[in-house]
Amino acid sequence: MGSSPSSSLHPTFVAAFRSAADENGFITFEDFMAIALYHPGVGYYRRDKDRVGQRPGTDFFTASSLGPVFGELVLAAVLGDLEQRGQDPARFTFVEIGAESGRSILDKVPHPFAAIRPIAVAQSLDLQGPNVVFSNELFDAQPCARFVRSADGWNEIGVKLEADQLTETHRTVGAPSPDLPSNLPVGYHLDLPRRAAALTRTIAKPGWFGSFYAFDYGKSWAELTQACPQGTVRAYRSHQQSHDLLSFPGEQDLTCHVCWDWISRALTESGFETHSILSQEAFFVKKAANALAEIMAAEAGGMTPRKAGLLQLLHPSALGQKFQVLTAWRKES
């Protein structure tokens, strides 16, 4: 998993790490990830920098990096769903949670909503009334707990700061947990996105009604426990994927696949009707077919940036199959 010399660590990070550590200097990977991503002083998502895009200095790109075409397709899908439900979009606020630098995917897209409300990391999630709540790669950026199966049971993966290095360490899990199946083989890594499910419950608190759209990458519970023996946590820096999770804390992105079953359950428990989870490609083909046809007709003359962006969004080898879309609806009380 790598190590990081303490001389390269920001003093604020070191102080936060030591404050969170137990008497043995151990913190869980989940707590390490929370500090590395969200600590107010040194967290990756708290830094004033461009993270998303293809410009020098960025670390990854998402669908929102491809220009207004992503917003156009999302808008078409949302309006189609509202129309099917007999809802007037002019009643609704489009809420984008996890928006970068206060920007929304609809900033350059004409729309009929009452308002657009981008919510950045650490801003209040107080939602009231009719809303269309949208997120893109929000849940995969939530801290997760990491475990590995040993001959004697499950060990939780943690981090220590020793001899001027961050190192991976393990501790035995005491009480049995339903999240840690007993039938997995020795060496199986299981990364549990518990905070993503907790964030879903926070977003879904009573007080608002309307649509919920989560664009993200994730797995079913069956896939996480049967098809991911090395876990799903990855690091991204300068557009390079890495398994070196401990280096560059606060300077690289850390992600974990969401568990779609947990997200769906959290929504259902909060009064939502959860719909099937589709690949991004299938979602747009099903929900925004007319908009797709109009874009392709308008860009038929050649490979324009707009058309290239569209192909990136849909192609199975690009973003079309990598990402999934979960939609849900909660009716007005």
Tell me, what's the pLDDT at 4?
A: 56
For residues 204 and 269, give the distance between their C-alpha atoms in angstroms, rounded to a whole number: 9
Evaluate if residue 190 carries a pLDDT over 70: yes
For residues 105 and 99, give the distance between their C-alpha atoms in angstroms, rounded to a whole number: 8
Kindly report, residue by residue over 195-237, the tens digit of the pLDDT: 999 999 999 999 999 999 999 999 999 999 999 999 999 999 8
Count of Cβ atoms closer than 10 Å to residue 243 Cβ: 11
Task: Report helix, strand or coil for 255.
Answer: strand
Render the burial of 146-167: b for 16+ CB within 10 Å, e for the rest: bbbbeeeebbbbbbbbeeeebe
Kindly report, residue by residue over 53-110, the tens digit of the pLDDT: 667 767 666 777 777 899 999 999 999 999 999 999 999 999 999 987 778 999 999 9
Give the closest residue to 320 by CA, choosing from 310, 328, 329, 330: 310
Task: Report helix, strand or coil for 38.
Answer: helix
Contact in structure between 190 and 225 (CB atoms under 8 Å) = yes
Q: Which two tokens stand for residue 243?
A: 């398994």
Tell me, what's the pLDDT at 51?
A: 66
Q: Global pTM?
A: 0.92
Kindly report, residue by residue over 1-58, the tens digit of the pLDDT: 455 554 478 899 999 999 999 999 999 999 999 999 999 989 999 887 776 666 776 7
Task: Output DSSP code: residue 185.
Answer: P
Kindly report, residue by residue over 115-167, the tens digit of the pLDDT: 999 998 778 889 999 999 999 999 999 999 999 999 999 999 999 998 778 99
For residues 205 and 267, give the distance between their C-alpha atoms in angstroms, rounded to a whole number: 9
Ranges of beta strands (E only) in 238-323 are: 240-242, 253-255, 258-259, 273-274, 278-279
Give the closest residue to 139 by CA, choosing from 57, 203, 63: 203
Task: Output DSSP code: residue 51.
Answer: -
Task: Output DSSP code: residue 154.
Answer: E
Contact in structure between 217 and 141 (CB atoms under 8 Å) = no
Give the closest residue to 164 by CA, choosing from 5, 14, 24, 8: 5
Kindly report, residue by residue over 154-177, the tens digit of the pLDDT: 999 999 998 778 999 999 998 778
Kindly report, residue by residue over 262-319, the tens digit of the pLDDT: 999 999 999 999 877 999 999 999 999 999 999 888 877 777 888 888 888 998 887 8
The mean pLDDT of the chain is 91
Tell me, what's the pLDDT at 6?
A: 45
Tell me, what's the pLDDT at 48?
A: 77
